[in-house]
Structure 1
Amino acid sequence: MLKVLIVDDELIVRKGLRAYVNWKAYDMEVVSEAANGEQALEIINQQPIELVITDIRMPLVDGIELTRAVKENYPHITVILLTCYDDFSLVKEALDIGASGYVLKTELEDGSFESILKKTSKEWKKRQKEGEYYKRLEKEAENSRLLLREKQVQSMLEDPSSSIPDELDWIENGFVGIYFEFLCSPNSFVEVEKQFYAIASKDKGVFLPLDDYRAIGLFAREKEYSEMKRTTYEQEQCRKLFGKITKIAGEINIYYCASSTNDKAGHVLRSLKEKGAYHTFYNEFGHLLDVHSIPQQGISDPFAKMDWQELRQLTLMRDWARIKDICDELFSHLAIEKPPVEDVKKVVLEIILIITHGLQTNSNLLTLTWGSNRFDNIELAKKKRTYKQLIEWLYEGINELEDSRSVFIGGINSVISKAISYMERNYMLEITLEDVAEHVGLSKSYFSSRFKKITGENFIDYLISLRIKKAKQLLQETDLKILEVAEKVGFNDPRYFAKLFKRFEGVGPKQFQESVHLYDAYK
């Protein structure tokens, strides 16, 4: 609604106008009153007003001076004059300085006032629509400029040697580049972009989402600061940005660098993106870094660290435990040397290729984790953005193959039963988790997790419980000494045996044996 201010030195006129006119019919609302021009200007300074209806003759500041002040300082406000028959010279002066019309006080009831209000309302609505239209055009033009800049930055990333376009000529005076890596894809980059432009002018800044998890931005460096102050200011802006975006989008990495006037902008942005992605791959998330602090990529050849012939043979033998061992050795080297990301992914893809080819002789063994063909392998590997994700993806597939094999040879319950039978026959020996896993044909880690899931106990606790159970039988059925019983059930240290026995049974082995013999004598 059009907000109206009534100005007249007579209270009865102000109240009469407020009560007499059906303001809502003209989409108007009287929001305030004033007794003179001075009061009116104070009100206009304090709240939004679109229409001033004012008397001409008033004390202090009259209607002419009020109109002049309004039109000089608030040209969008419409002014309508209330006048008497002898005010026409003043009316002409007011119209000359911008008043939109006048009404004789004697004609307020003959429809003239309503006609002016109707006309004013119509003109205001027209101006409002035109204003919205022009605002929309300005917004579209601004969006077009931003879109053009985004495309130009994208072109610079694709062809770093390309010249700087005119739309980005401010880059030549130096800029700050920022590369973003998000752990989780933001629901929308709108809020992230908003925070970026809180530190960067839209006239001299660009924010470009690269995909669902990455973005890059750049903005002009401040000229008026010294280099030291400029660097400090830029670092502080990046810290603020990191904190605000972390609250919006969760864990992120932000990498930044300042470019001088002599730098090739395209090469700087490409290097920023590549170094940021490399650091994220090996170091996960939660980092804010100047990209110059990131070490150079390792140069070792990861293919040379793997015995590929051995991997082929182990795949044919379905020896998943040994396959994991040689993969562990490889990945421990790569974690230290940190070769280029693409080289690591190529090695993992080669491991997958050799394993899947080796399994073609046994269609019962398969894993959907890696996909169903070479193209799937490559596309899934591309999506692994960190070293940890990539290695876990490889091992997840190997574990599924172990699972498939255990089903193929009788089901995992059957395999665990086979393991327990082996432990029942060999509990008195120094058997280990590795020994039992190898006996049933599973890797140590896979066997350990499945054993606990099915039995409810981890391997060591189950073996100790089994040995204590066998010790109780010997203590009940024989007269062997405690030392001899300990040795027969697999304990080399009788004191350790006694400690564990008491923990399981509540009494030591000697007390247990004496109570058994006492019971037998009583019987």
Structure 2
Amino acid sequence: MTFFEDITTSNAISQLERILLDIEKRWKIHITIHDHKGLLCLPDGHHILPHRNVHQNICCRWKARQPDVHSRCLAHCKTGAIRLLTENPVPTQTICWRFLTEVIVPIHRGREHVATFFGGTFRLPDSQLPERGEPQDDEYWRLYRTLPEWSDSCGNEISLLLQMVGAGFLQIANRLYEEYLNQSGRAGHIRRFINYYANTDTRLKDLAKYLGLSESRTSHLLKQTFGCSFHHLLNQQRIRHAKSLLYSRNLSMQEIAEQVGFSNEFYFNRIFKKIERVPPGILRRQILNPPHE
């Protein structure tokens, strides 16, 4: 996809957001991205599209202000839509419990489901709608009527579009990370080692063996090159990875801790707060439930 070729680490956030905004304007849709594996995180831990994990259409924004309603919506996106793709990992139409419909497209890296793109949102044709909702839902139904009506032909076009966009995003994410890891010299070797082994029980002696140096020489090299110890560098990488996983609604905090290399959730929370100055649970709530205007 040629329009991704000029994207670099320094402009990725603005450029990829611009691409999505252009697509949304042309197709009159909203695109939401659930990043399950940190696909869209830069090497420094910053997410490329930090606000794309929340549905922004007018009906979903209305529901987000209703706590009881919002919890059911989160359950639908977190479990219902993802379960559909687990059972049948191809682009499909999904209909939520408030009759909003959209296209969901799984993005795979090899056989691994790394992200889900949502494209919509549409209202159902009148023939598929139930009778009038309760009186307190008048405002919701008024907003609902302003949405474009779903059609299979439009859904198929959006499905193809999101598959191409997802493939492009995967391509640029892989390229940016390769550029980060392929630095020359010992700094590059150390980054590659830390990146590859951060989720294991690796130790300073393992890095020393990899570099062909003594442990004391390796420790001195780390402080000289990165200004920190081996364990601090290792924990930085683990927390960087953990921050990217906080964007996924499908992982518990214990599962995130285990995936990034911590033996238990308590120690993970302590190290995360030490590095990021905020507990992971609070940061996750800020990410997944940003304030709505």
TM-score normalised per structure 1: 0.20
Between structure 1 and structure 2, the one with the greater Rg is 1
Larger helix share, 1 or 2 = 1
Report the TM-score, using the length of structure 2 for normalisation: 0.36
Q: Which has the higher contact order (CA 8 A, sep 6+)?
A: 2
